Amino acid sequence: KVYPDQDAASLDVARRIASIIKEKQEKGETAVLGLATGATPIKVYKELVRLHKEEGLSFKNVVTFNLDEYYPMQPTADQSYVQFMNKQLFDHIDIPHENIHIPDGTLALEEVPAFCEGYEQKISSFGGLDIQVLGIGRTGHIGFNEPGSAPNSGTRLVTLDDLTRRDASRDFGGKENVPTKAITMGVGTIFKAKEIILMAWNEKKAEIVKKAIEGEISSDIPATYLQLSDHVEFVLDQDAASLL
Ligand code: GLP
């Protein structure tokens, strides 16, 4: 779906998420959301906060799983995805704290595999993700599934691509300060979501969006795996769609 601008697109994605939450509420069930960080989903979260504050949308029955976190990373650090999510969404809505899940950047290396397995199990224990929202990195990563990621990969520790670290350098005051690793849900984890929405805005994403949608499916560009899914939607603004 191509929208005139990211505002209109973000409103639609927020409405879709709100309708899942309400549907589940009516049935007395939990809505399980897979969430993303980065600049791309900020307006979606802003609209969800507005729906909460102005239209009474409640998040009491919502459980969230974030895609990824840098490793190592303290949750109190400004650049952590924990801070990002608190600032953009969680601090402004009525979600119970224990319903929020974000990969733990403070683990010792030997604790990471068990944590990752537990993350997968926890998602399954809630019946799987009802919806996963995604951005896309310029390497074609989804979450932090960099080139080379397998289509059936699960939650795991990964090494960040040089371009990804360069793109993050502004937040960290220099590329040398960007962690070299991250914990991310896998491509396989993302694929299990009942619905997947990948959002991309601006001209700087046009090239990778074209490759993701029209390119050959390959581990070189993990977002191309989404071509294999029948429940994925790309939500774009005109600039991101300009090369299609
Ligand atoms: C980071 C995140 C991804 C995100 C990507 C794009 O690498 N881990 O989940 O999609 O950045 O970021 P932005 O939305 O700021 O362009």
Ligand 1 center to residue 181 CA distance, Å?
A: 14
pTM: predicted TM-score of the whole model, two decimal places? 0.97
Beta strands in the chain, from DSSP E residues, in sequence order: 2-3, 31-35, 62-66, 68-71, 100-101, 131-134, 156-159, 181-184, 196-200, 232-237
Nearest-CA residue for ligand 1 atom 13 is: 38
Beta strands 196-200; 100-101: pairing state: unpaired
Annotation marks residue 207 as catalytic: no
Ligand 1 center to residue 89 CA distance, Å?
A: 16
Please report the atom of ligand 1 found closest to the CA of residue 41: 14
Cα 1 from Cα 16, distance rounded (Å): 14
The full set of domains in the chain, from first to last, is 2-237 (3.40.50.1360)
10-residue mean pLDDT profile of the chain (244 residues): values are 98 98 98 98 98 98 98 98 98 98 98 98 98 96 97 98 96 97 98 98 97 98 97 98 98
Q: Which residues pair with 101 in a beta bridge?
A: 65
Q: What is the ipTM of this complex?
A: 0.94
